[in-house]
């Protein structure tokens, strides 16, 4: 790898955008205390993780303002995915309240193109969002995993996101597998959402997405 005559190309990388301070601490607290933030739905895999019902950007003025902040970032992320600055819409939002000992099993999101997590409270370093390499996405299934093997971007099986502050956000392709390890800190609050573009076109054919 140290040979100057060798040139390494990173083929088909997956974009993930980490955005600092999308909301202020006061705005995060306002969102946590919003009347719609009543988390009554218990997670299927962890009783210490509860979710609110799905809500929508046009439910009230405050959600609309939060959506406006997010949409500017969605346009940039969409440009990375599709090579064009399209108009994006958040199709659904919900909040997650993770108590100490709670966790989120590995999953991805369907019926969307970009998903995001807006962190509304401090996050214990051990409970950062973890992203995983998709199953079966390589031509061979053998691995070389032991104490003497070096881990890099081409052989890693998972990636741990940066430690977020309240108001930070991560955007990622909806198909990307992710999970949250057991929360070893205080109550962890986040808002998740899914987004779609207004349309996609390919060689004279198009598909549009409308509410």
- Whether the per-residue pLDDT at 54 is higher than 90: the answer is yes
DSSP letter string, 72-134: HHHHHHHHHHHSS---EEEEEEEEEEE-TT--EEEE---S-SEEEEEE-S---GGG--EEEPP
Q: What value does the mean pLDDT of the chain take?
A: 93
- Whether the per-residue pLDDT at 101 is higher than 90: the answer is yes
pLDDT in tens, 132-179: 988 766 666 778 889 999 999 888 889 999 999 999 999 999 999 999
Domains and their CATH numbers in the chain = 17-200 (2.60.120.620)
**Rounded to an integer, what distance in angstroms lies between the CA atom of residue 92 and that of residue 193?**
6
Task: Write down the pLDDT at residue 144.
Answer: 87
Residue percentage of the chain with pLDDT more than 70: 97
């Amino acid at each position: 790898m140290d040979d100057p005559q060798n040139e390494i190309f990173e083929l088909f990388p997956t974009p993930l955008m980490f955005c600092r301070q999308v909301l202020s601490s006061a705005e995060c607290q306002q969102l946590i205390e919003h009347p719609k933030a009543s988390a009554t739905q218990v997670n299927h895999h962890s009783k210490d993780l509860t979710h609110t019902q799905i809500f929508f950007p046009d439910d009230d003025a405050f959600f609309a303002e939060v959506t406006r902040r997010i949409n500017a970032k969605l346009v940039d992320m969409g440009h990375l995915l599709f090579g064009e600055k399209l108009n994006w819409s958040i199709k659904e939002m919900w909040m997650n309240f993770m108590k100490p000992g709670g966790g989120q099993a590995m999953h991805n999101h369907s019926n969307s193109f970009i998903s995001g997590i807006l962190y509304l409270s401090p996050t214990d370093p051990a409970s950062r969002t973890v992203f995983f390499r998709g199953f079966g996405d390589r031509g061979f299934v053998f691995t070389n995993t032991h104490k003497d093997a070096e881990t890099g971007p081409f052989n890693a099986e998972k990636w741990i996101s940066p430690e977020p502050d309240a108001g930070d956000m991560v955007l990622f392709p909806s198909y990307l597998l992710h999970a949250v390890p057991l929360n070893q800190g205080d109550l962890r609050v986040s808002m998740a959402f899914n987004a779609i573009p207004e349309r996609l076109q390919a060689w004279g054919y198009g598909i549009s997405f409308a509410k």
